[in-house]
C-alpha cells in the first residue's frame, strides 16, 4: 500500500472543484465516459498495430447506478493503467491540469462545458475509487482511492480484474440524484448518444404481466456510427431525413441538408439542416448540437457559428473548438473564426448549387428559406455577397426572380425621371387590391413582400443599390414618379379634378403631418375611379416611429 499526496501545491482544491460550476455538475459523467472511450480506442489502435495480442472481446462500456450503496460505476475494457501510470496520469498530470485550469479561470464566468477531466468526479463524490488492470502482459491489478482531500491511497494487488478500468463514485449526500437510473439514463442519452463505443446501461426492459422486467439484452444507449461520420457519397437523401427525425422527433421534414466535412486547416464534420418554419413561428434558436469526437458538448453555439446560422438545425463535430475557455475568448479564437467562415461558405455554396441545379425545387421551398437568407444577408457581409445570386423576389403572380433578373424585367417600364428603377411592392395583395389593380393596369409589375424581415431587407438593398428603390404600391410615388406612357389619358378634366379634390380631402383624417395624394386617373373601367395615396416618405417615417 502506498499513501501519498497528489501532485498539487494548493492545500485543498476539492472544495473549489465542488463549488465550481455547480449548475453543470452533471458533466462529470461525460468526462468519465470520454476517458473510458479514449482507453478503448487506444486499445483498438494497439491491437491494429499488433502490439496488443489476442481477441479484444466485448469492448462495451458499462454504467451502473446503485441507489442502496449510493454509488455510480463506469467500467471499460480498454487499456487500463499500471501502478506507475495511475501515479503519473491520475496523481500528477490530471490533477495539475485541473489545478492549472482552476487557477486560470476561477474569476471568470466560463462556458460550462470545459474539460476538467477525471477530477470532475469530485464535484459529486465523497470518495472515488479506481480499480484497473493494464493490457500489458503480466500487469497486476491496481486499486486507488481518494476521499476528496489531497491524500490518496494506492496499492497493487493480486485480485482478479478484467483488463480495463472500473471507476466507482461514492456519491455525496447532495448528489444522490446520480444514483437514480432515470437520471443517469437521461444524461447518457444527452452526452453519449453518438459515442463510437457501445455504452450499456442495464438491460432492455419488457412489459410482462403488468410490469416492466429486464430481458437479457443489453440496453445500448448510443449509435456508434452516426451519419455525419460517414462519407457523404454513401448517404441517401432518405438517410439524411431519417437522421433529422432521430435528432428532432417532432419536427417537420427539413428543407435541405448540408454535409460538412473538412480536414484542413482544422477538423470538422457535421450535418446542418434548414428546418421548415411555420408561418406563425417563433424562431427556434440553438438547435445545433456541438460535439467533440462524438461527445456531446453543448447546444449553445452562439459565437461558434455565425449568428444567422444558429437558426439551422443539425450537428457539428470538431475536436478543434476549444471548450475549456470563456465565451469571450472563444469568440476571438482564430480557429473558431475560421470554422465560422468555413460554415458560412459551405452553406452559401450549397444554396447556390441547389439554385443552379434544382431551381424549381428551390423555388418551391423559397417561402420557408427566405427568412434564413435575409437574416444572413442582413448580418453577414460575406454571406450577403454570395447570396446575391440565389436570393429571390416573388411577385404577386407567384413568380420568382433573382434581383438581377427582376431588375432586367422591370427597368424598361419602371424607371423614374431620376433614372432610378422603381420596384413596386405590396405586403397584403388582398387589402391593397385597388392599388394593385391600378398598378397592373398601368403595366407595372408588383412584388409581394410580406416577410418579417422585408422592411429591413429593403432598407439594406437600397443602401447597396443607389439607383434602385422600393416603393409601396399604395404610395403616391406611383403616380408622380414613374414614367407614364404618353398616351395615358385622364378620365376627368383638370377643372373637374380641382372641384372634386376638396370633397375627398374633407373626408381624410385631420392629421396635418400626413400628406395625401388624390388622383382620378383610372385608365380602364375595372380600375378604381379615385385613388388616395399617402406620401411614401411620410409613411416610412411613421412606420419607423412605430417600430422604434
If one asks whether residue 120 binds Mg ion (CB under 5 A), the answer comes out as: no
Q: How far is the CB of 61 from ligand ADP (least distance, A)?
A: 9
Select from 114, 88, 103 the least CA-distant residue to 13.
103
In sequence order, the 6+-apart residues with CB closer than 8 A to the CB of 491 are 520, 521, 522, 523, 529
- CA 545 – CA 126 distance, rounded (Å): 61
DSSP conformation class of 483: P
With 0-12 / 13-18 / 19 or more C-beta atoms within 10 angstroms meaning exposed / middle / buried, residue 319 is middle
Q: Is the peptide bond before 265 cis (omega within 30 degrees of 0)?
A: yes
Q: Name the binder of 304 from ligand ADP, Mg ion, none, CB < 5-8 A by kind.
A: none
If one asks whether residue 90 binds ligand ADP (CB under 6 A), the answer comes out as: yes
Closer CB to ligand ADP, 297 or 471, in the complex? 297
Which residues face 416 on adjacent strands? 482
If one asks whether residue 31 binds ligand ADP (CB under 6 A), the answer comes out as: yes
If one asks whether residue 477 binds ligand ADP (CB under 6 A), the answer comes out as: no
Contact with ligand ADP (CB under 6 A) among 17, 21, 33, 39: 39
| Among the residue ranges 73-81, 320-328, 433-441, 486-494, the one whose residues contact ligand ADP (CB under 6 A) | 73-81
How many residues interact with ligand ADP (rule CB under 6 A)? 16
- CA 185 – CA 52 distance, rounded (Å): 33
Contact with Mg ion (CB under 5 A) among 37, 79, 95, 117: 117
Q: Taking CB under 6 A as the criterion, which residues in 300-359 touch ligand ADP?
A: none
Grid cell of 487 as nine digits: 398616351
| Among the residue ranges 34-42, 50-58, 298-306, 395-403, the one whose residues contact ligand ADP (CB under 6 A) | 34-42
Q: Are 28 and 176 in contact (CB under 8 A)?
A: no
How many residues interact with Mg ion (rule CB under 5 A)? 2
Torsion of CA 301, 304, 305, 311, to 10 degrees: 20
x/- string (CB under 5 A) for Mg ion, residues 16-55?
-------------------x--------------------
Q: What are the CA-CA distances from residue 147 to residues 12, 82, 100, 175 (Å)? A: 12, 21, 21, 15
Contact with ligand ADP (CB under 6 A) among 17, 33, 117, 471: 117
Q: How far is the CB of 118 from Mg ion (least distance, A)?
A: 6
With 0-12 / 13-18 / 19 or more C-beta atoms within 10 angstroms meaning exposed / middle / buried, residue 15 is exposed
Q: Name the binder of 454 from ligand ADP, Mg ion, none, CB < 5-8 A by kind.
A: none
Rounded to the nearest angstrom, the gap between the alpha carbon of residue 214 and the centroid of all alpha carbons in its chain is 37
| Among the residue ranges 77-85, 171-179, 257-265, 487-495, the one whose residues contact ligand ADP (CB under 6 A) | 77-85
Annotated binding site: 31, 35, 76, 81, 96-97, 165, 327
Residue list for the binding site for ATP: 31, 35, 76, 81, 96-97, 165, 327
Amino acid at each position: 500500500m502506498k499513501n501519498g499526496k497528489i501532485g498539487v501545491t494548493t492545500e485543498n482544491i476539492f472544495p473549489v472543484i465542488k463549488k465550481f460550476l455547480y449548475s453543470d455538475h452533471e458533466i462529470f459523467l461525460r468526462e468519465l465516459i470520454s476517458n473510458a472511450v479514449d482507453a478503448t480506442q487506444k486499445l483498438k489502435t494497439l491491437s491494429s498495430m499488433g502490439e496488443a495480442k489476442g481477441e479484444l472481446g466485448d469492448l462495451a462500456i458499462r454504467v451502473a447506478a446503485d441507489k442502496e450503496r449510493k454509488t455510480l460505476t463506469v467500467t471499460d475494457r480498454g487499456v487500463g493503467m499500471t501502478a506507475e501510470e495511475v501515479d503519473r496520469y491520475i496523481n500528477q498530470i490530471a490533477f495539475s491540469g485541473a489545478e492549472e485550469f482552476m487557477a486560470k479561470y476561477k474569476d471568470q464566468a466560463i462556458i460550462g462545458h470545459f474539460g476538467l477531466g477525471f477530477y470532475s468526479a469530485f464535484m459529486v463524490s465523497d470518495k472515488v475509487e479506481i480499480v484497473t488492470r493494464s493490457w500489458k502482459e503480466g500487469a497486476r491489478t491496481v486499486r486507488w482511492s481518494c476521499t476528496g482531500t489531497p491524500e490518496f491511497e494506492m496499492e497493487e494487488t493480486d485480485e482478479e480484474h478484467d483488463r480495463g478500468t472500473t471507476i466507482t463514485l461514492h456519491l455525496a449526500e447532495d448528489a444522490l440524484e446520480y444514483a437514480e437510473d432515470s437520471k443517469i439514463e437521461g444524461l447518457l442519452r444527452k452526452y453519449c448518444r453518438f459515442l463510437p463505443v457501445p455504452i450499456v446501461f442495464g438491460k432492455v426492459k419488457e412489459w410482462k404481466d403488468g410490469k416492466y422486467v429486464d430481458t437479457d439484452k443489453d440496453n445500448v444507449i448510443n449509435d456508434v456510427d452516426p451519419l455525419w461520420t460517414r462519407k457523404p457519397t454513401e448517404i441517401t437523401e432518405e438517410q439524411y431525413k431519417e437522421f433529422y427525425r432521430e435528432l428532432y422527433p417532432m419536427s417537420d421534414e427539413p428543407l435541405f441538408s448540408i454535409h460538412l466535412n473538412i480536414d484542413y486547416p482544422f477538423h470538422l464534420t457535421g450535418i446542418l439542416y434548414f428546418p421548415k418554419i411555420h408561418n406563425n413561428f417563433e424562431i427556434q434558436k440553438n438547435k445545433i448540437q456541438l460535439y467533440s469526437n462524438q461527445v456531446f458538448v453543448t447546444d449553445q453555439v452562439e459565437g461558434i457559428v455565425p449568428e444567422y446560422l444558429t437558426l439551422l438545425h443539425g450537428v457539428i463535430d470538431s475536436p478543434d473548438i476549444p471548450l475549456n475557455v470563456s465565451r469571450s475568448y472563444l469568440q476571438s479564437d482564430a480557429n473558431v473564426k475560421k470554422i465560422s467562415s468555413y460554415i458560412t461558405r459551405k452553406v452559401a455554396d450549397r444554396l447556390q448549387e441547389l439554385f443552379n441545379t434544382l431551381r424549381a425545387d428551390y423555388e418551391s421551398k423559397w417561402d420557408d428559406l427566405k427568412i434564413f437568407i435575409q437574416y444572413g444577408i442582413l448580418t453577414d457581409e460575406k454571406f450577403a455577397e454570395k447570396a446575391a445570386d440565389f436570393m429571390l423576389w416573388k411577385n404577386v403572380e407567384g413568380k420568382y426572380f433573382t434581383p438581377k433578373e427582376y431588375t432586367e424585367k422591370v427597368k424598361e417600364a419602371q424607371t423614374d425621371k431620376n433614372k432610378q428603377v422603381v420596384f413596386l411592392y405590396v405586403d397584403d395583395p388582398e387589402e391593397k387590391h385597388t392599388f394593385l389593380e391600378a398598378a397592373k393596369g398601368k403595366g407595372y409589375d408588383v412584388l409581394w413582400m410580406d416577410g418579417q424581415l422585408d422592411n429591413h431587407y429593403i432598407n439594406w438593398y437600397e443602401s447597396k443599390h443607389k439607383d434602385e428603390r422600393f416603393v409601396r404600391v399604395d404610395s403616391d410615388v406611383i403616380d408622380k414618379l414613374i414614367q407614364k406612357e404618353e398616351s395615358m389619358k385622364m378620365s376627368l378634366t383638370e377643372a373637374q379634378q380641382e372641384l372634386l379634390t376638396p370633397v375627398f380631402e374633407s373626408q381624410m383624417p385631420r392629421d396635418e403631418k400626413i400628406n395625401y395624394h388624390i388622383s382620378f386617373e383610372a385608365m380602364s373601367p375595372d380600375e378604381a375611379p379615385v385613388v388616395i395615396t399617402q406620401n411614401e416618405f411620410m409613411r416610412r417615417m411613421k412606420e419607423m416611429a412605430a417600430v422604434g
